[in-house]
Amino acid sequence: MRNVIARAIDVKRQYKLGKETVWALKGISLDIYEGEYLSIMGPSGSGKSTFFNMIGALDIPSSGTIEFMGADLFALPEEKQAWVRCNKIGYIFQTYNLVTVMTALENVTLPMVLKGASKKACDARAAEVLDQVGLGHRLHHLPGQLSGGQQQRVAIARALVNAPSVILADEPTGNLDKATGAEIIDLLKRLQVEHNATIVTATHDVKMLAISDRIAWIRDGKLDRLEERKDVKFTKE
Amino acid sequence: MEQIGKQVKLPLGRALQIAVQGIRIRFGRSLVTVSGVVLGVAFFMSNVTSQLIKQAIADEREQRQTLNLMLTLMKSEIGDLSGKTVALATFGETTVSERDLLAVLRKTPGLTLGAPEALGGKAHLLLVLGAGPATASPDILTAGMAQPVLLDSLAERAYPSAKPGSSLAQVRRELFFGRESEEQADKLKTQAEQATFRTLWIGIISILVTIIGIANALLMSVTERFREIGTMKCLGAMSAFIRKLFLIESAMLGFAGAVIGTALGTLLSFAGYGLTFGFGLITAALNVGGLLVAAAACIAGGTVLSMLAAIYPANFAARMVPASALRTNV
Ligand SMILES: Nc1ncnc2c1ncn2[C@@H]1O[C@H](COP(=O)(O)OP(=O)(O)OP(=O)(O)O)[C@@H](O)[C@H]1O
Ligand SMILES: [Mg+2]
């Protein structure tokens, strides 16, 4: 049987803007399985990023919760939440969120530095991962000296460096041209297959559909439907 | 199934390393922050130094005035000093002005200075200095002088009474330092009070300017990194670690800025007053102890202020939900 790595339980999120209340999430329940490639699709403003932030413990639900590795994520003390973020989840954002004053290598070492690894171990591992994403020749460049696609690869390398079980990618190809976007998608797929990582991406990009195992359609803060795409996956391979 | 672990708490040494590396890779920006602190502290320190120098100049001027008064009195008694003989009797401690007077007299060409006994009757004038009571009566001190003239630096010096029958009619006692009249004393007191008030006012304004300058520099340097703090939290940083990082960083930047600012403020003030009044005057007269205390206070104050200004926003960002920290756009 497939293991559930993360489980959303009736997750709601409201934003208060003055007197008005906006319900970004109106109660989403969803199981995420170990090793699957799950795409979260939906129109702009439907709540994808909001949901993505909940799974990654980056935001707190107004009600409902996320179970991660069997534990209530939002009931955990800070050092356990930090451990999950550091060791179990790799984040990839549409806007990369690299530290602009740090080189590619320094950016990628951050998650290792934060868990107390030695500088030597950090540098060696970061160089290895950057090489894997095809940036072995750009270790000492600053993000500003890299193209958008290259910056996103640095972000991917950073997400990978601690070998997390889940990679959360919120519109990873949103700022990239078609060809570069396709390369990033291939890279994510390879991660899933080669490292048995769980990939969750929020996206508008229909190219993602072809390689996803499941697609969760979100509309207006609710889970609209869930589709299995096993057949597509098999014909692709 | 694998259990959820606890994130390690990075030791202080590692945090120190990371903070230093952070300052290094942001060197240009760090310099801007430091200059903010430098400006604030320099402004304050130059005010303090100016105050000390002004005080010193005023004291020095008063002394010089006293000296000039003494010389004028002597000249009015015996005319031009060159070629004259002056007997000198000192009782007890001498003041700075008295020592200055002696130095000037010794340098005056053609003037002979000596003890009353040694000079005998050759002296044109007897100078009595010092703060203590006289051990000989005026007639003995002026014995043999053709026209006994006695100038005393104290109005109410105690003298042993003269031998009965000796004439004191020609002995004149002049005051170098009389006690000021009450009216004068009141006037001086109000003047002093006004000056203190002015000093206090300038002090308060400069403290405010300094606080705002430093707080602004550090606040900016932290708030513009909210996104970075959010990113660090995404990657597994704990609030306490982020606080520690900014505390170390702001302490180092603040200390560097405060040291440079203190030196700069002192130098500028020195240069300004030195060029107008002469460096000799101000270095000779300055209260070095006071200056050192002010410098130490400035360095400590600048550093602590920088830390306070940084820790508030850093703490705020560290406690923020990562998603909101990431959304900030400063
Ligand atoms: N910080 C916030 N304050 C107020 N409202 C918010 C906030 N963040 C999101 N929202 C609202 O929540 C809803 C969902 O936003 P969300 O960013 O999750 O959409 P999305 O599906 O990711 O859209 P997109 O595809 O454009 O990224 C939107 O209506 C948005 O206006
Ligand atoms: Mg979004």
For residue range A150-183, what is the model confidence (pLDDT) as tens digits?
999 999 999 999 999 999 999 888 888 888 888 8
Q: Which atom of ligand 1 is nearest to the CA of A47?
A: 18
What local confidence, expressed as pLDDT, does residue A234 receive? 43
Q: If you write DSSP's letter for every residue of A48-72 in order, what string do you get?
A: HHHHHHHHTTSS--SEEEEEETTEE
Q: Which of ligand 1's atoms lies nearest the C-alpha of A17?
A: 4
Q: Is B309 left (phi over 0), alpha (psi -120 to 50) or beta?
A: alpha
Supply φ then ψ for residue A188, to 5 degrees. -60, -45
Cα–Cα distance, B32 to A193 (Å, whole number): 48
Q: How confident is the model at residue A8 (pLDDT cuts 50, 70, 90)?
A: very high
**Token pair for B182:** 């009450």
Q: Residue type for A229, please?
A: R
DSSP letter assigned to residue A74: G
User: Which residue has a Cα nearest atom 16 of ligand 1?
Assistant: A47
A58·B232 Cβ contact <8 A: no
Q: Is the CB of A47 under 6 A from ligand 1?
A: yes
Beta bridge partners, A218, equal A223
Cβ-contact B174, B151 below 8 angstroms: yes
What is the dihedral angle through the alpha carbons of B193, B199, B202, B208, rounded to the nearest 10 degrees? -100
Q: How far apart are the first and last CA of chain B?
A: 42
pLDDT given for residue A223 in this prediction: 94
Q: Which residues of B touch A114 (CB under 8 A)?
A: 7, 10, 232, 235-237, 241
| 8 A C-beta contact, residue B236 and residue A82 | yes
Chain A nearest-CA distance from B325, in A, is 10
Provide the 8-state DSSP code for A130. Answer: H
Looking at residue A193, its amino acid is V
**Neighbour tally for B269: CB within 10 Å:** 23
In the numeric block, the tokens 């597509």 are attached to: A232
CATH code that applies to domain A36-46+78-231:
3.40.50.300
Query: What per-residue confidence (pLDDT) applies to B169?
Result: 40
CB A11 within 8 A of CB A61: yes
Q: Which of B36, B26, B66, B298 is nearest to B180 (CA)?
A: B66
Q: Which atom of ligand 1 lies at the shortest distance from residue A204's CA?
A: 25
Check if the beta carbon of residue A232 is closer than 8 Å to that of residue A210: yes
Cβ neighbours of residue B80 closer than 8 Å, sequence gap 6 or more: none
Per-residue pLDDT of chain B (330 residues; tens, 9 = 90+): 678 999 989 888 888 998 999 999 899 999 999 999 999 999 999 988 888 888 888 877 777 777 888 788 888 878 888 888 888 888 888 877 788 888 888 888 888 888 888 777 788 888 888 888 888 887 778 777 777 788 887 767 777 876 665 555 445 555 454 434 456 667 777 877 887 788 788 888 888 888 898 888 888 888 889 999 999 999 999 999 999 999 999 999 999 999 999 999 999 999 998 888 888 877 877 788 989 999 999 999 999 999 998 888 888 888 889 998 888 765
pLDDT at B121: 76
The CA A204 to ligand 2 mean position distance, Å, reads: 9
Partner residue facing A101 (CB), from B18, B25, B321: B25
User: What distance in Å separates the CA atoms of residue A91 and residue A162, rounded to the nearest whole number?
Assistant: 11
Q: Please answer whether residues A188 and A25 qualify as being in contact, where contact means their C-beta atoms are separated by less than 8 angstroms.
A: no
Token pair recorded at residue A118: 């030695």
Whether residue A155 lies within 8 A of chain B, CB to CB, comes out as: no
CA neighbours closer than 13 Å in the CB half-sphere of residue A231: 2
For residue A116, which amino acid is it?
G
Are B1 and A69 in contact (CB < 8 Å)? Answer: yes
Inter-chain contact A59–B322, Cβ cutoff 8 Å? yes
**What are φ and ψ of residue B185, in 5° steps?**
-60, -40
A17 lines ligand 1 (CB under 6 A): yes
Strand duo A71-72 + A20-33: pairing: unpaired
Q: Indicate whether residue A45 lines ligand 1 (CB < 6 A).
A: yes
Collapsing DSSP to helix, strand or coil, B14 comes out as: helix
Asked if A39 and B199 touch (Cβ cutoff 8 Å), the reply is no
Comparison of pLDDT for B95 and A221, the residue scoring more = A221
Asked whether the beta carbons of residue B232 and residue A114 sit closer than 8 angstroms, the reply is yes
Chain A contact set for B32 (CB, 8 A): none
Closest atom of ligand 1 to CA, residue A218 = 21
Instruction: Compute CA B140 distance to the chain's CA centroid, rounded to the nearest angstrom.
Output: 47
The confidence score (pLDDT) of residue A55 equals: 94
What average pLDDT does the structure give for chain A?
90
pLDDT band at A190 (very low <50, low <70, confident <90, very high): confident
Q: Are the CB atoms for B237 and A99 separated by under 8 Å?
A: no
| A119-132 helix and A148-160 helix, angle to the nearest 10 degrees | 130
* pLDDT of B170: 45
CB-based contact, A53 to chain B, within 8 Å: yes
Pairing of strands A71-72, A63-68: antiparallel
Residue A168's identity, in one-letter code, is L
Per-residue model confidence as pLDDT tens digits over A48-97: 999 999 999 999 999 999 999 999 999 999 999 999 999 999 999 988 99
Nearby residues of A115 by Cβ (< 8 Å), 6 or more positions away: A86, A87, A162, B7, B8, B236
CA atoms within 13 A on the CB side of B231: 21
Burial class (CB in 10 A: 0-12, 13-18, 19+), B324: middle
- N- to C-terminal Cα distance for chain A? 22
Which residues of chain B approach chain A closer than 8 Å at the C-beta? 1-10, 14, 18, 25-26, 29, 227-228, 230-239, 241, 321-324, 326
Q: Which of B3, B18, B236 sits opposite A85 (nearest CB)?
A: B236
Q: What is the ipTM of this complex?
A: 0.90
Instruction: Verify whether the Cβ–Cβ distance A79 to B26 is below 8 Å.
Output: no
- Looking at the CA of residue A46, tell me the nearest atom of ligand 1: 21
SS3 B225: coil
Residue nearest to atom 6 of ligand 1 (CA): A15
Interface-testing mutation among B1, B2, B3, B4, with chain A (most A C-beta atoms within 10 A): B4
User: Residue A18 region, left (φ>0) first, then alpha (ψ -120 to 50), else beta?
Assistant: left
Residue B181 has which token pair?
A: 């009249």
Judge whether A71 is closer than 8 Å to chain B, CB to CB. yes
- Three-state secondary structure call for residue B88: strand
**Residue A54 CB neighbours (<10 A):** 26
Determine whether the shortest distance from the Cβ of A109 to ligand 1 is under 6 A: no
- A205: nearest Cα among A221, A184, A220, A190: A184
A10 vs A208, higher pLDDT: A10
Q: In what order do the strands lie in the sheet with A4-17?
A: A20-33, A4-17, A63-68, A71-72
Is the Cβ–Cβ distance between B116 and B123 less than 8 Å?
Answer: yes
